[in-house]
Amino acid sequence: MIVATWNVNSLTARWSRVEEWLRAKSPDVLLIQETKQNDEKYPFAALRALGYESAHYGQGQWNGVAILSKVGLSDVVRGFGDDDAEARFIGATCADVRVYSCYVPNGRALDDPHYAYKLAWLAKLRDLLAARDRDQHVVVGGDFNVAPSDLDCYDPSVFEGGTHVSEPEREAIRAIEATGLVDLTRSMHPDEANFTWWDYRNGSFHRGWGLRIDLLLVDPALRAKATSSYVDREARKGEKPSDHVPVVADFAL
DNA sequence: ATGTCACAGTCCCTGTGA
């Protein structure tokens, strides 16, 4: 079973790239972040024609997360069941694997209220995962907006005093992993940076100024069944790319 | 370090978010 996660930075703007990528890679499950659409605009029918059922938690202008599946889609949950109005979290069961698509808040700056919101959001995610059914495989994928270690950042000195690399953010990721989850890309490629995002500005992609902030966290038993994983940096090239690229994994289920 | 992209509304430019 092939599972991927991709922050598309507007499914409206990215539709032709997403359609092309789905045809080329044919993942069984794709976790999408930043659809920036409501349900009325979401391409349910076009995705069905490609063989995918969809669950979407949309918000219109900002955020928006989705789960696409060729292998079943049931028990959908949207959000954490609290009063958070931002559409950043959706879960479903696909082929007996519990999957979650996460769009973690950016944080903006360490002294910005959005940073406290980010840490609180990550704590809510940890609590949900700590209470999960341990008999079921789980994939927690998405844009975490945190580079878990210095290897995941092209130049940590540039980010000193900023978000994405701060110790509280990294501790929040470790706390999520401590519920019994493995960072799949890092586990399978311990020495490669494997950046997943490059700023649109400054020619960052061609200069190699990237971060690894898009993650697939899986339970150890599922990690043992992983046969391959890769970051599809080809998706950052060509016409109208997202600033993020897909992270893909194959499991022998 | 900020050279871009996407969005909505003020609507062909500007403010906001990333």
Q: What is the pLDDT of residues A232-249, one digit of tens each?
A: 999 999 999 999 999 999
Tokens 């700590």 map to which residue? Answer: A130
Answer whether 0.95 is exceeded by the pTM. Answer: yes
| Catalytic member of A52, A57, A100, A143 | A143
- Distances in whole angstroms, Cα of residue A111 to Cα of each of A115, A153, A218: 7, 21, 32
Query: Catalytic residue at A103?
Result: yes
Rounded to whole angstroms, the Cα distance separating A65 from A7 reads: 9
CATH code of residue A70:
3.60.10.10
Backbone angles phi, psi at A66, to 5 degrees: -145, 160
Per DSSP, the three-state class of A46 is: helix
Per-residue pLDDT reduced to its tens digit, A101-114:
999 999 999 999 99
Query: Catalytic residue at A154?
Result: no
Number of domains in chain A: 1
pLDDT at A12: 97
pLDDT at A16: 97
pLDDT at A103: 98
| CB-contacts to strand B (7 A) | A 9-10, 12-14, 36, 60-62, 105-106, 108, 114, 155, 158, 199-203, 209, 240
Per DSSP, the three-state class of A156 is: helix
Which strand B bases fall within 7 angstroms of a protein CB?
A: 1-8, 17-18
Q: First-to-last CA distance in chain A? A: 6
Rounded to whole angstroms, the Cα distance separating A90 from A79 reads: 6
| Catalytic member of A52, A57, A100, A103 | A103
Per-residue pLDDT reduced to its tens digit, A20-60:
999 999 999 999 999 999 999 999 999 999 999 999 999 99
Rounded to whole angstroms, the Cα distance separating A249 from A85 reads: 31
Per-residue pLDDT reduced to its tens digit, A147-181:
999 999 999 999 999 999 999 999 999 999 999 99
User: Average per-residue pLDDT in chain A?
Assistant: 97
Torsion region of A93: left, alpha or beta (phi above 0 gives left; psi -120 to 50 gives alpha): beta
Residue A91: domain span: 2-251
pLDDT at A242: 98
pLDDT at A55: 98
- The pair of structure tokens assigned to A25 is 């890679």
